[in-house]
Chains A and B, each alone.
Chain A
């Protein structure tokens, strides 16, 4: 007998996430007990548990979660919350493969001091994703072994994924008729 088709594709509904709203609060409290300033806030939305961490203590939070079982860094990406301050968010999607649950750690930094500690020591696979976040948002990861642009040309200026970065034509590298071409971004 084939089971009845489930109602939605949302994985959150089919396999209830283990860090539900209660457990997320417990985890946050545990982290606050160890370091009172480490966790600023929590957010539980549509089955997704997010810890909003203090960017200065992000390594402490990630290290504690890693020893709790969230040993796999599934994804690391940036996000620009323009016009809300602090604008730049760095999101760490952590995964516990044994209990099959996910938790997100979010740290937000200002655009005038976009610095955060690198997690390459904890999660070696963060090397390329951190380079990408640096490339696209200009967040400097302190302690990263090789922080260079990865997708954009290395002599590029500006951080294109920021929300206030202009979209439009820009001069092409290696062009012989650069002076006569029109439509370039001034």
Chain B
């Protein structure tokens, strides 16, 4: 719209930021330090304006929007089934969760039943995705604390998970595996065996991570008692997920409002006590074991039956029917060209993502394209808790706390 704007308010404000030191009293000075937007420790494209007194952080202002790609606007121009690959790219480490939240909202509007086998397959992939996301978090956070070998170990296990994703869907990331009404395909032969091998191995690996980190005095001192935030403040800001659980509140939507058959599985919710960085680390680390438990139960109890709803108005007919059934061909043509229409209404579908409550709001106006898609991304809300966490802490702990916050900028900016 506007191409100039060099003298706009924004430019003026940018120029007014003093990046030199200002004296405070006789012996101290305040320094405004710009961190990012391109910096390995910001876990994405995040800019922080930190006000420092010596090494002590007085204030920090997060500035976001550098990877805003207008995904929510893009969704309004696509039919429902074509929205799934787009929303998957919001929080790029939890693509199954984004797809689940969107599909759940659309299924609520359509009032469609998801077959039990599809629900179990979804749980298997959601929990594998949670493991994968936590492994990336653990590796990169340890990297920020100076433990470089953790990064390689975590990415080794992550590779196995991505190989499993490739087996079931053909893609390693942004898999488009979840569809409205179920999943796109059943798991292939050999998947279960490979998954079992991984599940047997993963708890041992998690033990090894703990041995590497929790017997290291440097790591412990960097984490213990650093940047705690009380449960009350976290709830006011709207923080959920491992960050809230680290402060002792066992809120988990998988238990509180079970979706996709989560109430069939026996698992525990790890909670912390004081909500410092050590608790944040411990809660996520303990969740690795719980996810493994859920996946093994879902794999052992995997029900027989269809993997997607038999409703031909929503799900594509099986390939072999196209050669023999005229009706199947018509359904296929209608679904691929126009997509399915969704009755008018609004739905908000919250699920427990790896970072907290991930809710998808979908408004339908009765056409084949959504009138509004909004993702309540936990990282976006959690970023507001950064300043209260790090006020009065050292700048080195700001980096560690940001890592423990686990923000994904793709989810924040959308």
Contact = CB atoms under 8 A, between A and B. Distances in A.
Contacts of B371: 79, 163
A151 B414 contact: yes
B10 A153 contact: yes
A154 interface: yes
A122 B345 CA distance: 28
B224 interface: no
B1 interface: yes
A48 B371 CA distance: 18
Contacts of B380: 128-129, 132
Interface string A94-134: 00010010101000000000000000000111111100100
A46 B108 contact: yes
Given A50-B346, A150-B64, A155-B10, A79 B363 contact: yes
B226 to A, nearest CB: 23
Contact of A5 (B3, B9, B264, B376): B264
Given A79-B372, A100-B256, A104-B348, A151 B238 contact: no
A173 B6 CA distance: 10
A161 B73 contact: yes
Contacts of B238: 72-74, 123, 125-126
Interface stretch (A8-16, A20-28, A34-42, A53-61): A8-16
B235 A71 contact: yes
A138 to B, nearest CB: 13
A5 B119 contact: yes
A165 B380 CA distance: 24
Given A75-B348, A167-B77, A14 B381 contact: no
A95 to B, nearest CB: 8
A6 interface: yes
Interface of A: 2-3, 5-12, 14-15, 45-48, 50, 71-75, 77-80, 91, 93, 97, 100, 102, 104, 123-129, 132, 136, 149-158, 160-161, 163, 165, 167, 170-171, 173, 178, 185
| Nearest 9 CB-CB pairings of A with B | A5-B116, A125-B238, A154-B10, A75-B376, A155-B8, A155-B5, A125-B237, A151-B65, A151-B68
12 contacts: A5-B261, A9-B107, A10-B107, A45-B346, A79-B371, A91-B346, A93-B348, A93-B359, A100-B256, A136-B72, A160-B73, A185-B1
